[in-house]
Amino acid sequence: MPRVFLKYKRMTSSAMAPHQAHPDDAGFDLYADQTVYFAPFETKRVSLGISIELNKGYSSEIRPEPGFAIQSPVKCIQTTIRNGYHDEIMATFTNLSNQSNQINKGDKVCQLVVQHDTQVQLTNLDE
């Protein structure tokens, strides 16, 4: 199996590097690079302070971090990051509570999972 390289760049001096707690973990923990306040039921994007680069043929997904997902009413929206996107990664969160909430700078809020892209041929069955 080919080795996949996940290269990252800190876009701010305060950004935290992606972290893989165990070598066999599927994802890398990502951290909020800003404090964000949420009104009830509000959706916002949160800076993670990094950009990434992957081998050709791979993309990544932002997924909920299990601990944060259980503890907080602010939920991460799963998002695909296409190969070739090199701007700062932002994660989208929605406050599912009728009370105000916040994400604090430095909170472990989501995970980055790398996946192999499959080439799919689309066929129109109407023709």
In the block, which residue shows the tokens 């949160």?
Answer: 46
Please report which confidence band the pLDDT of residue 2 belongs to, taking 50, 70 and 90 as the band edges: confident
Give 44-56 pLDDT, tens digit per residue.
999 999 999 998 8
Looking at residue 102, its pLDDT comes to 96
Q: Would you say 94 and 75 are in contact if contact means Cβ atoms under 8 Å apart?
A: yes
Does pLDDT of 4 surpass 90?
no
For 25, the token pair is: 């973990």
Q: Residue 14 domain-assigned?
A: no
B/e letters for 3-20, b = 16+ CB within 10 Å, e = fewer, are eeeeebeebeeebbebee
pLDDT (tens digit, 9 = 90+) per residue, 7-37?
999 999 999 999 998 988 889 999 999 999 9
**Contacting residues for 113 by C-beta, under 8 A, at least 6 apart:** 26, 27, 28, 60, 61, 63
In a domain, 4, yes or no: no
In a domain, 91, yes or no: yes
**Number of folded domains in the chain?**
1
pLDDT confidence of residue 1:
63
Whether 112 is in a domain gets the answer yes
Share above pLDDT 70 across residues of the chain, in percent, rounded to a whole number: 99
- Name the residue among 62, 57, 56, 53 with its Cα closest to residue 80: 62
pLDDT, one tens digit per residue, over 57-96 is: 999 999 999 999 999 999 999 999 999 899 999 999 999 9
CATH number of the domain residue 49 falls in = 2.70.40.10
